C-alpha cells in the first residue's frame, strides 16, 4: 500500500493566477497520476507522471496549462496555470505501486475554487 | 477503449446484500476490472479487482461472466458506513507501458437504517 498526502487541501484563487499542488508519497513508486474531479462527477485523468520521463497528457490537457514535475520517486507537483473559473475542481494524485495492475492509492485531493 | 455503464444510484437497507452491475461491452483482452469506493471529500479507495470468474476478499465479491462484458460487485450485509459512490474501472497498461483508464460515472449507494 501507499499513503499519499496533498498540499494544499483547498484553496481559493483569483482568475489569471497559478496554483501548484504538491503530492507526497510515503514510499518510492514509479507511476503517479493526476486526476481532476468536478463535484459530483467521475474522475478524469489529466496526465501520467513517471519519474525520469516527461509527463504524458491525456486528450484535452496540455503541458502549458498543467505543467507537472516529478523530481523523484516520492514527490510530484501539478500546476494549474492562468486559472479561470472553469478550473474549479478537485485535483487528485494517485500512485500504482504494483505497476502492471490497476490498483491505485489516492491522495485526499485538493479542492480548488477560482473566482 | 471500453466504455462502462452502471446505475446512477441505488438504495438499500442495513444488513442487506447489495449488487451493483457494470456493463463494459467493449472490454479489451488485457483489461482488468476494478471497483473503487469513494466517500465525500476523500480520494477513491480500492475495493476489488478481477479478470474473470469470481474474486472474493474480506469486503466484497466480484462476479465476472465468461464473456467479461459485465461485472457485478457484491457487498454482503451492508451497513450505514457503506454509503458511498462506487466506481467501475476498466483499463490496463498496454505493451508500451502506457495506461488508459476508463472510469464509470459511479453508482451512488445509499444505505438506510
- Predicted confidence (pLDDT) at residue B94 exceeds the cutoff of 60: no
- The answer to whether A99 contacts chain B (CB < 8 Å) is yes
The residue with greater pLDDT, A10 or B93, is: A10
Phi, psi of B49 (to 5 degrees): -140, 145
> Which chain B residues have a beta carbon less than 8 Å from that of A94?
43
- Predicted confidence (pLDDT) at residue B100 exceeds the cutoff of 90: no
The residue with greater pLDDT, A93 or A53, is: A93
Which residues, including other chains, have CB under 8 Å from residue B29's CB and lie 6 or more apart?
none
- Predicted confidence (pLDDT) at residue B95 exceeds the cutoff of 50: no
- pLDDT for B99 equals 60
Mean per-residue pLDDT of chain A? 92
- The answer to whether B92 contacts chain A (CB < 8 Å) is yes
- pLDDT for A101 equals 59
Inter-chain touch A105–B46, beta carbons under 8 Å: yes
CB B65 within 8 A of CB B51: no
Nearest CB to A102: which of B32, B42, B106? B32
- The answer to whether A13 contacts chain B (CB < 8 Å) is no
Three-class secondary structure of residue B62 per DSSP: strand
The residue with greater pLDDT, B50 or A59, is: B50
Q: What percentage of residues in chain A have a pLDDT greater than 70? A: 97
**pLDDT class of B6 with cuts at 50, 70, 90:** very high
Amino acid at each position: 500500500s501507499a499513503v499519499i498526502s496533498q498540499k494544499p487541501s483547498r484553496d481559493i484563487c483569483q482568475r489569471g493566477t497559478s496554483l501548484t499542488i504538491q503530492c507526497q508519497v510515503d514510499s518510492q513508486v514509479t507511476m503517479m497520476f493526476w486526476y481532476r474531479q468536478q463535484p459530483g462527477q467521475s474522475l478524469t485523468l489529466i496526465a501520467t507522471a513517471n519519474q525520469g520521463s516527461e509527463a504524458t497528457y491525456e486528450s484535452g490537457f496540455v503541458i502549458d496549462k498543467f505543467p507537472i514535475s516529478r523530481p523523484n520517486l516520492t514527490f510530484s507537483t501539478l500546476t494549474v496555470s492562468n486559472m479561470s473559473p472553469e478550473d474549479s475542481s478537485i485535483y487528485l494524485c494517485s500512485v500504482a505501486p504494483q505497476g502492471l495492475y490497476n490498483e491505485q492509492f489516492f491522495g485526499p485531493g485538493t479542492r480548488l475554487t477560482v473566482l | 477503449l471500453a466504455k462502462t455503464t452502471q446505475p446512477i444510484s441505488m438504495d438499500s437497507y442495513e444488513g442487506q446484500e447489495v449488487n451493483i452491475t457494470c456493463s463494459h461491452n467493449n472490454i479489451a483482452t488485457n483489461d482488468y476490472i476494478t471497483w473503487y469506493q469513494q466517500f465525500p471529500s476523500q480520494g477513491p479507495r480500492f475495493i476489488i479487482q478481477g479478470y474473470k470468474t469470481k474474486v472474493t476478499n474480506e469486503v466484497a465479491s466480484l462476479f465476472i461472466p465468461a464473456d467479461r462484458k459485465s461485472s457485478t460487485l457484491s457487498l454482503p450485509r451492508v451497513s450505514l458506513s457503506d454509503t458511498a459512490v462506487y466506481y467501475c474501472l476498466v483499463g490496463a497498461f498496454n505493451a508500451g507501458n502506457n495506461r488508459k483508464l476508463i472510469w464509470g460515472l459511479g453508482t451512488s449507494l445509499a444505505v438506510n437504517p
